[in-house]
Structure 1
């Protein structure tokens, strides 16, 4: 930044004019004083113009920052609206998924599929029991009990398998519930992403407003400096006008004095010519100078 725009007014260069100066100073002194006042006024006006220009630049930069902040505000609000839309959709889908899973659990309860062990676990137990029967030496009683246990497990496996095979729609219901839950998760992911973006725009908005405040402070400071210089320039202009007025008054006084002197000289010349003319009438001889004086006054 131009130092001329920031430096304080050097008051030592300012020129003060008192009423006594106007009354007592000679015309020559007043002419010099008017020149100094004019030059100082012009310097101050130039400095004021620079400061006004810088102030206007800062005010324009402030408006740009405010506009930037407003753009971030609008984008933030737009994203927050999208967040609310996805939240609403997510909540609706989660509610629907909960209903579907509740229905799944209800059907399982009706089919008693939640009681006992699953098919894979039953199948594994049967294999272990059959392996034991084939590899271990058992008493007749123990082997009979083992065979009976294997048969019970096989019967339980067949019963549960028949229940599941007869309820394909249950698997479809589970798939539907899982799909709805997955869709809800996607909306939740969008909520998170959009909320992060909205927060970023919010942060940028706050920063832009802060920068605008800082620039506005600089603009206000520059305006104060402009006013300071402009007031000094105006004061010098007023004093310049006062001096000019005083010079015109002196010019009028001088002109009046010159006019008065000319009239007095004409009156004195007329009186002298009349005296000469009277001598002429009385018969006195006139020299060339006397004759010229009579001609100037029109008496000859």
Structure 2
């Protein structure tokens, strides 16, 4: 995996070398010779091309950095969406956990109430009560008792039978208590499972949150580098544009010099023609006056059309 540092190192660019630039002054433009200006135009053209290439490379690197910035932002957004999705699940499990815990609490409260109502910790078990009843009945059957003692014994047997029946009913209800306890424990267990999911999902959500923060941080670093690269691009492009403008100015000056040379040559040719014409007219005048002309004079007259 390529780190942000490696990305930034890949796009490290040195500053523009100002000393390599070509300077053009108004004095040079007006007073340098044509040969000097032609040389200067070549230097400006070459430096302009070099700067344009540099600007193009920097623009390409800037665009690559901006693309990598967008990749990091997209990566951060993916982590954000996953984090939010997990947080929603966390909230759902929290709600389920809380609902189940509330239900479990209600059931355990019912258990405690039922325990208090049953008072299972107090009294004798059924076998002991059965044995006591049998002993009392055996005594009634085998002993000779007065009417008063027998009546008391009968009442005592009835009390024991009633106690036995109440105890038996409580023990029957105790099975419902066991079922209630089991239900409460099952609900509490289910709530614990939801709590475990809350913890697991919250940890995963935090991981995606941390990754989102890191991706945004890296995006900011790369964006800053892209901004720096854009400044370097502008620097190179502006220098290239200046060299191009100076190149155009020199080219324009060279065309002016060419026109001036052409005009001078034309003026020279015109002066030569005027001089030749005047000379031919003088020769022609001599010819009219009867002077003898040599071959050279005749050729001058033919050249000017006077003969």
User: How does the TM-score come out when normalised to structure 1?
Assistant: 0.82
CA contact (8 A) 1:9 1:229 kept: yes
Q: Determine helix, strand or coil for the equivalent of 2:290.
A: coil
CA separation in 2, counterparts of 1:93 and 1:8? Answer: 67
| Aligned partner (choices 35, 54, 74) of residue 67 of structure 1 | 74
Closer, same or farther: CA 217–15 of 1 in aligned 2, 3 Å = same
Deviation at 1:178, TM superposition (A): 1.1
Match of 2:208 in 1: 201
Q: Note if contact 1:86-1:191 (Cα within 8 Å) is conserved in structure 2.
A: yes
Residues 122-271 of structure 1: pairs in structure 2 closer than 5 A? 163-271=170-278
Which residue matches 1:280? Answer: 287
Q: How does 1:21-40 map to 2 (within 5 A)?
A: 21-40=28-47
In structure 1, what is the Cα distance between the partners aligned to 2:225 and 2:48? 26
Name 1:137's counterpart in structure 2. Answer: none
Q: Distance in 2 between matches of 1:110 and 1:4?
A: 81
Unaligned runs of 5+ in 2: 1-7, 129-162
Q: Which moved more, 1:48-57 or 1:23-32?
A: 48-57
- d(CA) in 1 for partners of 2:235, 2:124: 92
Instruction: Give the whole-Å Cα distance in 1 for the aligned partners of 2:12 and 2:29.
Output: 33
- The whole-number CA distance in structure 2 between the counterparts of 1:177 and 1:3 is 63
**Equivalent pair of 1:41/1:236 in contact (CA under 8 Å):** yes
CA distance 1:297–1:157, shift in 2 (3 Å) = farther
Correspondence for 1:84 among 83, 86, 91: 91
**Which piece of structure 1 moves more, 166-175 or 67-76?**
166-175
The CA distance in 2 between the partners of 1:159 and 1:226, in whole Å, is: 98
Deviates most, 167-176 or 213-222: 167-176
TM-score (norm 2): 0.80
Q: Label 1:297 to 1:2 Cα distance change in 2 as closer, same or farther (>3 A).
A: farther
* Alignment root-mean-square deviation, CA: 2.4
Contact 1:5 1:50 in 2 (8 A): no
Contact 1:66 1:212 in 2 (8 A): yes
Cα distance in 2 for partners of 1:283, 1:2 equals 98
2:304 pairs with 1:297: yes
Displacement after TM superposition at 1:166 (Å): 4.0
**1:22–1:30 Cα contact (<8 Å) kept:** yes
Aligned partners of 1:226, 1:188: CA distance in 2, in Å? 56
Residues 195/157 of structure 1: CA separation in 2 closer, same or farther (3 Å cut)? farther
1:165 deviates by 3.2
Structure 1: gaps of 5 or more residues = 124-155
Q: Does 1:9 align with 2:16?
A: yes
Deviations 1:92-126 (A, max 9, x none): 1111111111111111111123x44998xxx9xxx
The 1:17/1:157 distance shift into structure 2, 3 A limit, reads farther
Query: May I ask how many residue pairs the two structures share in their alignment?
Result: 264
